[in-house]
Amino acid sequence: MIIKFKENTKREEIETLRKSLVDLGFAIHESIGDTITVFGVVGDTTAYDINRLYAYEFVDSVLRIQEPFKRVNRKFHPNDSLIDVGGVVIGGKNIVVIGGPCAVESHEQMEIITPLIAGAGAKLLRAGAFKPRTSPYSFQGLGLEGLEILKSMNHKYKLPIVSEVMSLEDLPLFVGRVDLLQIGARNMQNYPLLREVGKTDIPVLLKRGLANTIEELLMSAEYILSEGNKNVILCERGIRTFEPSTRNTLDISAIPVLKKLTHLPIIIDPSHASGHWEYVESLSKAAVAAGCDGLIIEVHHEPEKALSDGQQSLKPERFHKLIADCRRIALAVDRTLE
Ligand code: PEP
Ligand code: MN
Residue 121 CA, chain-centre distance (Å), reads: 23
Task: List the domains of the chain with CATH numbers.
Answer: 2-63 (3.30.70.1140), 83-332 (3.20.20.70)
Cβ burial of 249 (10 Å; 0-12, 13-18, 19+) is middle
pLDDT class of 158 with cuts at 50, 70, 90: very high
Nearest CA residue ID for atom 10, ligand 1: 185
126 alpha carbon – ligand 2 mean position (Å): 10
Q: What percent of the chain has pLDDT over 70?
A: 100
Taking the C-alpha atoms of residue 101 and residue 236, their distance in angstroms, rounded to an integer, is: 18
pLDDT at residue 299, as a whole number: 98
312 alpha carbon – ligand 2 mean position (Å): 8
Mean pLDDT (whole number) for 70-85: 97
Mean pLDDT (whole number) for 106-124: 98
pLDDT class of 265 with cuts at 50, 70, 90: very high
- In tens, the pLDDT along 34-76 reads 999 999 999 998 889 999 999 999 999 999 998 999 999 999 9
188 alpha carbon – ligand 1 mean position (Å): 11
Give me the residues near ligand 2 (ion), CB cutoff below 5 Å: 102, 309
Mean pLDDT (whole number) for 88-96: 98
pLDDT at residue 46, as a whole number: 87
- In tens, the pLDDT along 182-230 reads 999 999 999 999 999 999 999 999 999 999 999 999 999 999 999 999 9
Mean pLDDT (whole number) for 97-118: 98
307 alpha carbon – ligand 2 mean position (Å): 10
pTM: 0.94
Nearest CA residue ID for atom 6, ligand 1: 184
- In tens, the pLDDT along 226-255 reads 999 999 999 999 999 999 999 999 999 999
Supply the mean pLDDT for the chain. 97
Pocket residues: Cβ below 6 A from ligand 1: 102, 128, 132, 164, 184-186, 207, 237, 269, 272
pLDDT class of 181 with cuts at 50, 70, 90: very high
- Is the pLDDT score of 161 beyond 90? yes
